[in-house]
C-alpha cells in the first residue's frame, strides 16, 4: 500500500493508504502503485484518481480536480502538492458549468493578452471540474 | 437644555448605531476565526514544499538558480495588502505608512519602486501619490480568497523577476500575532532564499531518484509553490488582522454608544423631571391665584 497525501493551500485534502493513484504530469498521465521508484515530478492541471484497495472497481475510485503542482514518490509514500484540490463530491456540476459559461464570456470579451490568458486559465479549470463532477455521477450509479 | 422630544430622538438614533456596530463586531469575530484557521491550514503545504527543496538541494545547487541568485537591487517591486473596506482601525494606514517609508528610503538609494496593490483602500491612496509605478490593482478579492485569485500575482512577479525588470520583490502585509496584537511586516519573497537545514543530511540517499521532466523544471515548480504559499499566508494573515482590528474598533464603538446612551438617558430624565416640577408649580400657582 502507498501512504498518499494530497496537500493543497487549503489544507490536507487526502491522507491515507491507497493501492493505486493516477496522476496527470507534465510528461503524461502516470499511475503510482506500491513499489514505485523514487520520483520527483511536476503535476499538471487535471484529475487525480485514487483506488483504495487492489480489487476496487473503476467506478468506486475517488477523484479530485487539481491544478498544477509538484509530486514526490519516496519509500512507499506519495506526496502531492497543488494549489487547489477539490473532491468530486464537493463540486457541483451545475456551478462548474455556470463558471465555464462565465469564463467563455470573459474570453470573448478579453482585450489584451493577459486577460485572455486568465480567461483561458478559468476555462481549463472549469473543464476539469466539470469532468470530475461527471465522474462522481457515474460512481453513484455503480 | 434640549427638549425631551429631541433627546428621545437622539437616544433612538444612538441605539440604532449601537446595534449596527455590535453586529459588525460579531461578524468580524467570526470572519477572523475563519481566516486564522485557513492560514494555519497552509502550514502543511509550506512544510512539504520545504522538504522537497531539501531533497532537491542534494542534487543541485539551489542557490545558483536564477530565482535564488541575489543581484544588486536597482528596481524593487512591492506587493501591498490592504482591505476593501474601512472601519478597521489603523489597519490600512499602518500598511500604507510602512509602504511610504520603504519607498522614501528607496528613493534615497536611487532604487526605482513599483507596486502591486491588493485592496481598494491601498489603491485609493496610491492613486493620489505621484511618481509611483502601479503594476496592478486587485480589488475584487473576497474574505475567502482562493488559490486561483493569487495565481496572476504569482505569475506577474515571476515573469518580471526572470525578465530582470525587477531585482527584488517584497510583500508588505499585517501579521496576525494575536487577537489584540497585529504588526506590519515586510517580507522579501524574491530572490527566494533557501537555508540548509542541519538535520537534512540524514535521510535516504537520492542517487536513484528520477526527476521528470528535469531537475530544473522541478525546482522551478517547487519554488513557485513556496512563493505561492508565502503570498497566500500573507494574504490570510492580513485578512485575519483586518477582522481583528475591525472587531476591536467596533467593540470600542459599541462601548462608546452605550456610554452616550447612558448620558442622554440621564439628561432626558432630568429634563422630564424638570418639566413635571414646572407643570406642578404652574398648577399650584394657578390654584393659589383662583383662591
Name B290's Cβ contacts closer than 8 Å, sequence gap at least 6: none
Q: How confident is the model at residue B60 (pLDDT cuts 50, 70, 90)?
A: confident
**Identity of the residue in A26, A67, A121 whose CB atom sits nearest the CB atom of B213:** A26
Q: Does A11 touch chain B (CB under 8 A)?
A: yes
Look up the CATH superfamily of B4-23+250-286: ATP synthase, gamma subunit, helix hairpin domain (1.10.287.80)
> By percentage, how much of chain B surpasses pLDDT 70?
95
**Nine cell digits for residue B282:** 404652574
Whole-structure pTM value: 0.81
Using the predicted structure, report yes or no on whether residue A132 has a pLDDT greater than 80. Answer: yes
Task: Give the residue on B whose Cα is nearest the Cα of A8.
Answer: B45
A42 and B206 within 8 Å at the Cβ level: the answer is no
Q: Smallest Cβ distance to B45: which of A8, A25, A67?
A: A8
Q: What is the distance of C-alpha B273 from the center of its chain?
A: 51
- The CATH 3.40.1380.10 portion of chain B extends over 26-198+208-247
Centre a 10 Å sphere on the Cβ of residue B132 and count the other Cβ atoms it contains: 18
What 3-state DSSP class applies to B235?
Answer: helix
Please compute the mean of the pLDDT values over residues B245-267 and round it to a whole number: 93
Could A9 and B228 be called an inter-chain contact, meaning their C-beta atoms sit closer than 8 Å? Answer: yes
Q: Determine the residue of chain A that is closest to B36 in CA distance.
A: A10
Question: Tens digits of per-residue pLDDT, B126-135?
Answer: 888 777 788 8
pLDDT band at B196 (very low <50, low <70, confident <90, very high): low
B148: chain A residues, CB-CB within 8 Å: 67, 83-84, 121-122, 125
Q: Name the CATH superfamily for A2-88.
A: F0F1 ATP synthase delta/epsilon subunit, N-terminal (2.60.15.10)
pLDDT category of residue A138 using cuts at 50, 70 and 90: low
- Which residue, among B261, B278, B275, has the nearest Cα to B7 in the 3D structure? B261
Contact B14, B8 (CB under 8 A): no
What is the band of B199 on the pLDDT scale with cuts at 50, 70, 90?
low
Cα-based distances in Å from B230 to A112, B54, B91, B147, B178: 29, 17, 20, 12, 19
Q: Which residue of A has its CA nearest to B211?
A: A40
Residue range B26-198+208-247 forms a domain whose CATH class is alpha beta
Nearest CA in chain A to B208: A38
Q: What is the pLDDT of residue B186?
A: 87
The pLDDT score that the predictor gives to residue B16 is 95
The ipTM, to two decimals, is 0.76
DSSP E strands in B95-167: the ranges are: 112-118, 133-138
The predicted-structure confidence for A89-105, as pLDDT tens digits, reads as follows 888 888 889 989 998 99
Residue B157 C-beta-side C-alpha neighbours within 13 Å: 29
Structure confidence by residue, pLDDT tens digits, A10-68: 888 989 999 999 999 888 888 998 988 888 889 988 999 999 888 888 878 888 999 88
The pairing of strands B133-138 and A85-87 is unpaired
> Which of the pair, A136 or A62, is modelled with greater confidence?
A62
pLDDT above 80 (res B193): no
Q: Please list every residue in chain A whose beta carbon sits closer than 8 Å to the beta carbon of residue B217.
A: 26, 42
Q: What mean pLDDT comes out for the span A112-119?
A: 82
Burial letters A82-95, b for 16+ CB under 10 A, else e: bbbbbbbeebebee
- Look at residue B19 and tell me whether its pLDDT is greater than 80: yes
Interchain contact A110–B (C-beta under 8 A): no
CB-CB under 8 Å, B228 with A38: no
pLDDT per position as a tens digit, B73-105: 888 899 999 988 888 888 888 998 898 888 888
Query: pLDDT band for position A142 (50/70/90)?
Result: very low
**List of E strands, chain B:** 75-81, 112-118, 133-138, 168-176, 182-190, 210-212
Inter-chain Cβ pairs, chain A and chain B, closer than 8 A? 97
Every domain of chain B with CATH number 1.10.287.80 lies at: 4-23+250-286
Amino acid at each position: 500500500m502507498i501512504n498518499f497525501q494530497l496537500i493543497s493551500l487549503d489544507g490536507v485534502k487526502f491522507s491515507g493508504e491507497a493501492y493505486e493513484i493516477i496522476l496527470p504530469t507534465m510528461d503524461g498521465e502516470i499511475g503510482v502503485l506500491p513499489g514505485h521508484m523514487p520520483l520527483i515530478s511536476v503535476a499538471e492541471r487535471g484529475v487525480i484518481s485514487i483506488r483504495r484497495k487492489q480489487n476496487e472497481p473503476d467506478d468506486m475510485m475517488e477523484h479530485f480536480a487539481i491544478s498544477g503542482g509538484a509530486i514526490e514518490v519516496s519509500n512507499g509514500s506519495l506526496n502531492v502538492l497543488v494549489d487547489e484540490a477539490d473532491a468530486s463530491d464537493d463540486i457541483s456540476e451545475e456551478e462548474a458549468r455556470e463558471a465555464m459559461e462565465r469564463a467563455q464570456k470573459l474570453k470573448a470579451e478579453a482585450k489584451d493578452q493577459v486577460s485572455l490568458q486568465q480567461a483561458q486559465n478559468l476555462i481549463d479549470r472549469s473543464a476539469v471540474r466539470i469532468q470530475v463532477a461527471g465522474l462522481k455521477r457515474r460512481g453513484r450509479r455503480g | 437644555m434640549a427638549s425631551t422630544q429631541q433627546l428621545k430622538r437622539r437616544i433612538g438614533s444612538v441605539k440604532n448605531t449601537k446595534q449596527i456596530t455590535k453586529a459588525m463586531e460579531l461578524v468580524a469575530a467570526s470572519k477572523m476565526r475563519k481566516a486564522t484557521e485557513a492560514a494555519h491550514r497552509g502550514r502543511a503545504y509550506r512544510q512539504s514544499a520545504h522538504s522537497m527543496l531539501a531533497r532537491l538541494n542534494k542534487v543541485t545547487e539551489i542557490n545558483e538558480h536564477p530565482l535564488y541568485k541575489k543581484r544588486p537591487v536597482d528596481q524593487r517591486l512591492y506587493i501591498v495588502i490592504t482591505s476593501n473596506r474601512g472601519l478597521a482601525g489603523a489597519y490600512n494606514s499602518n500598511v500604507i505608512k510602512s509602504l511610504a517609508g520603504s519607498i522614501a528610503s528607496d528613493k534615497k538609494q536611487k532604487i526605482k519602486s513599483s507596486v502591486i496593490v491588493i485592496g481598494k483602500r491601498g489603491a485609493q491612496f496610491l492613486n493620489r501619490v505621484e511618481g509611483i509605478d502601479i503594476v496592478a490593482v486587485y480589488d475584487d478579492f473576497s474574505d475567502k480568497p482562493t488559490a486561483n485569485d493569487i495565481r496572476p500575482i504569482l505569475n506577474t512577479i515571476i515573469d518580471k523577476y526572470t525578465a530582470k525588470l525587477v531585482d527584488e520583490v517584497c510583500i508588505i502585509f499585517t501579521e496576525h500575532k494575536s487577537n489584540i496584537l497585529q504588526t506590519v511586516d515586510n517580507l522579501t519573497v524574491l530572490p527566494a532564499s533557501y537555508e540548509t537545514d542541519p538535520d537534512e543530511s540524514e535521510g535516504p540517499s537520492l542517487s536513484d531518484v528520477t526527476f521528470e521532466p528535469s531537475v530544473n523544471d522541478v525546482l522551478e515548480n517547487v519554488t513557485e509553490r513556496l512563493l505561492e504559499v508565502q503570498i497566500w499566508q500573507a494574504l490570510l494573515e492580513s485578512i485575519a488582522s483586518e477582522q481583528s482590528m475591525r472587531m476591536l474598533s467596533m467593540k470600542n464603538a459599541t462601548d462608546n454608544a452605550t456610554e452616550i446612551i447612558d448620558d442622554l438617558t440621564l439628561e432626558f430624565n432630568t429634563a422630564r423631571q424638570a418639566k413635571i416640577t414646572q407643570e406642578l408649580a404652574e398648577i399650584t400657582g394657578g390654584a393659589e391665584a383662583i383662591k
